[in-house]
Structure 1
Amino acid sequence: MEAYKRWVRRNKEYLHSIESLANGLTWLLPERFAESEIIPEAVTSILGIMTTVNGHIIETTPSNAHVKPQECSSFPYSLCLTLMKDVETLVEVIAEQFYGDDNKWNFIAVTEAAKVLARLALLRNSGYKMLLQGGETINDGKDPNDANQPQTHIRLSQKWQDGNFTLEGRALSALSMFGENARMISNPTWVHSAEHHQRATVELPETDIKRPTLLSILTEKGLTGGLMLTGEVMFIARPLVYVLLIRKYGPRSWLPWFISLTIDLIGMSSSTMSLIGHKDRRLRLSDPEKDELRRRKLWLAFYLMRDPCFGKYTRQRLESAEKTLEHVPVVGFFAAKLIELLVGAQTRYTYMSGS
């Protein structure tokens, strides 16, 4: 493994080109593979795992200035979360094909439970900071738009756009771009915040940096800290609660949909309320955390693509829009294709889970 790590770090540019080529070639696979979703999803998962692992090896190179000793030695929860997302759709497809539509929810629930445990552990290890990109991006207080910072979230999003080649998977390009648009361009003052953070990191010895505990947060920040923590816990637990309710009441029931939406709204309200009217600098969000809140708010639109709302309302609106635009040259063609892909993607829980 050490020999492989050295090879990856020496040939990272070459390896990146190979990964991009492999993802592009998936679009050229024979159409007969479309008869079984397992094969294309398996190829996508394997490519995603390879890209993720190689990226992690490069990002944790000891000579990299942004890698801290404790990050190299601690358990890589962010890596595990990304790997679970790489295989979750494959798990859903295999479970559905071999165990049926009803029993597949048992496997999806196990996957969501594993992600909940990993995110709770990551939340604790990070000093109860807000999770970025569901925990896949480390919240170190630095702006990810900085050219000097590792572009983890960009690389991870790119594999979704290049790697999926099933009918449902092609819709993820639009959905991924929709999620990424939540990361709006921040005010240029982030430069000063990043420089201040870097100076503070250099000036303070590693032994002087104490990781906040749950008790210290509740003691020092009181109700504000409790609200922020409540928002994070509800964000983490919501997907598991949603799946367990679907497992019990079925995907056509409104109860799981309403409860999941309620948890999301309460969680985001708690996070927002904890920031209103407070001038304490310790309670201010960094630019990446502000972008994360925007992303979570925009992802509420996924509720329009989840049953039973999709079957009763959204699908009719999409079909009506398709009929309206079908006579418009070029626009009608692309609108029909986009709607077809969105309808296909809606059939997979993992594509619309927002987790």
Structure 2
Amino acid sequence: MADTLKNVYEKYKQSVRDHPDKVGQVETTVRLLSYLVAGRFGNSQVLSELMYTASNLLVLLNDAILKQKSKIVPKVPVSQERLCQLLTVLEYVEVFVEITAMRLWTPLGRWLVIAAIQIAKAALRFFLLVKYKSGIQPTPPIAPIDRGSLSMSGAEEEDKEISQAEEIIAGIEQHTETKSPVTFTLKRSGKTVRTISAAPAMNMRTWSLSNLQTGVKNQRQQLTPTVLNRQRVWAESIHIAKPLIHLASLYACGFSSWKPWLLSCGLDVTSLCMMGEPDDLNVNEKAELRRRTFMLLFYLLRSPFYDRYSQAKIIFLLKIFADNIPGMSLFIKPFMEYLPAWQKVYFYIWST
């Protein structure tokens, strides 16, 4: 049995490597079907979320296979990579697990499952922050890769260019161990010229050294987390702990109270303000802060604000679209029927 499963998996990996475009089409189809199924029948919520979760896990698996094919080595230790994979899986399955627990168990069982998942996620994120200095952590930790940039020829050519640049830099470092100046400035023209003693070997010389050196450094630093100062560590810690604080406040104050809503929103705003200006952050960290800022709009769709202010206006706009735009009723009416259940689950994803 084990050999059969192993053979099936090996064949699947080979098919992913040989036909990445078709695999991407399958992933997209499964995800679109999850949207179309929602609200169509009684248990559509469970089936829709199962298909959506399966599509995310399928993307994660296929990305790992394609990375292995392209010989992309993680820039972090293996243990950290595995923790990020586990955290990503939790991010993908948490909604489906919550919906399943809501259907199978009592409300107490559902909230125990929610609490267990959020405690596990917070523990993993704190461990990554403290142990591995992971900096500003994205959600999910392992994002889908750009399939178009993973062709074998492109990857091999890029590795070759980086390797050549690193050889050039190594040659320069070897010839500058005596701490002699690498360049000097001409007095009359002000032009900067490289010294002869700092020149590498003949086979490594190039007229575009500074650009290559900068390119390699950018390649090395692109995925390197920024070292956070104390204030930013506290800001990231607040962001990580917010889901647990929100759950505790809901338990203490109840679902109809404004206190959990205000507390959670206040923690998100405080965390973003404490991060300060993102000028010194890398591209991925800036994108994550933009995502967190955008997610503040979700508070307009979370109870009790949604129940008292947003719901009537949203339903009114959806009815206008359904009645006046031909064909839109086929999509909007199932969505309107699914909206109450959708709002109760998706806008209580505590880590968003």
Q: TM-score, normalised by structure 2?
A: 0.64
Distance 1:256 1:84 in 2: 24
What is the aligned partner in structure 2 of residue 250 from structure 1? Answer: 254
Structure 2: stretches of 5+ with no match in the other structure: 152-209
Q: Say whether residues 1:127 and 2:133 are aligned partners.
A: yes
Structure 1: stretches of 5+ with no match in the other structure: 139-143, 151-191, 204-209, 277-282
What is the aligned partner in structure 2 of residue 348 from structure 1? Answer: 345
Equivalent position SS for 1:346: helix
What is the aligned partner in structure 2 of residue 260 from structure 1? Answer: 264
CA drift at 1:128: 3.8
Q: Say whether residues 1:99 and 2:105 are aligned partners.
A: yes
CA drift at 1:195: 8.0
Match among 7, 11, 14 for residue 16 of structure 2: 11
* 1:196 aligned partner, one-letter code: T
Match among 41, 57, 61 for residue 65 of structure 2: 57
Match among 189, 196, 199 for residue 217 of structure 2: 199
Question: CA separation of 1:21/1:122 partners in 2, compared to 1, >3 Å: closer, same or farther?
Answer: same
Distance 2:323 2:39 in 1: 29
Distance 2:74 2:321 in 1: 54
CA drift at 1:5: 5.7
**Segment of structure 1 superposing worse, 77-86 or 30-39:** 30-39
Equivalent position SS for 2:324: coil
1:240-259 Cα distance to aligned partner (Å, 9 max, x none) = 22123223333222111111
Instruction: Please tell me whether the aligned partners of residues 98 and 114 of structure 2 are also in contact (alpha carbons under 8 angstroms).
Output: yes
Question: CA separation of 1:30/1:102 partners in 2, compared to 1, >3 Å: closer, same or farther?
Answer: closer
Distance 1:25 1:332 in 2: 17
Larger RCO of the pair (alpha carbons < 8 Å, separation 6+): 1
Instruction: Please tell me whether the aligned partners of residues 119 and 135 of structure 1 are also in contact (alpha carbons under 8 angstroms).
Output: no
Equivalent position SS for 2:295: helix
Distance 1:251 1:322 in 2: 26
Question: CA separation of 1:319/1:39 partners in 2, compared to 1, >3 Å: closer, same or farther?
Answer: closer
- Aligned runs of 1:331-342 on 2, under 5 Å? 333=329, 342=339
Question: CA separation of 1:228/1:32 partners in 2, compared to 1, >3 Å: closer, same or farther?
Answer: closer
What is the aligned partner in structure 2 of residue 239 from structure 1? Answer: 243
Identical columns (%): 22
Distance 1:329 1:39 in 2: 29
Distance 1:68 1:134 in 2: 16
Q: Say whether residues 1:302 and 2:302 are aligned partners.
A: no
1:178-236 Cα distance to aligned partner (Å, 9 max, x none) = xxxxxxxxxxxxxx999836336679xxxxxx999xxxx6xxx8xxx111111111111
- The count of residues paired between Structure 1 and Structure 2 equals 283
Distance 2:129 2:215 in 1: 20
Instruction: Please tell me whether the aligned partners of residues 235 and 264 of structure 1 are also in contact (alpha carbons under 8 angstroms).
Output: yes
Question: CA separation of 1:69/1:145 partners in 2, compared to 1, >3 Å: closer, same or farther?
Answer: closer
Instruction: Please tell me whether the aligned partners of residues 92 and 108 of structure 1 are also in contact (alpha carbons under 8 angstroms).
Output: yes
Instruction: Please tell me whether the aligned partners of residues 243 and 350 of structure 2 are also in contact (alpha carbons under 8 angstroms).
Output: yes
Question: CA separation of 1:94/1:10 partners in 2, compared to 1, >3 Å: closer, same or farther?
Answer: closer
1:59-90 Cα distance to aligned partner (Å, 9 max, x none) = 245x52x4247444644222212211222112
* 2:105 aligned partner, one-letter code: Y
Q: TM-score, normalised by structure 1?
A: 0.64
Distance 2:338 2:113 in 1: 25
* 1:266 aligned partner, one-letter code: T
| RMSD of aligned residue pairs (Cα, Å) | 4.1
**Segment of structure 1 superposing worse, 336-345 or 50-59:** 336-345
Match among 81, 89, 103 for residue 87 of structure 2: 81
CA drift at 1:329: 3.9
Instruction: Please tell me whether the aligned partners of residues 42 and 90 of structure 1 are also in contact (alpha carbons under 8 angstroms).
Output: yes
Instruction: Please tell me whether the aligned partners of residues 49 and 96 of structure 2 are also in contact (alpha carbons under 8 angstroms).
Output: yes
What is the aligned partner in structure 1 of residue 192 from structure 2? Answer: none
Instruction: Please tell me whether the aligned partners of residues 299 and 305 of structure 2 are also in contact (alpha carbons under 8 angstroms).
Output: yes
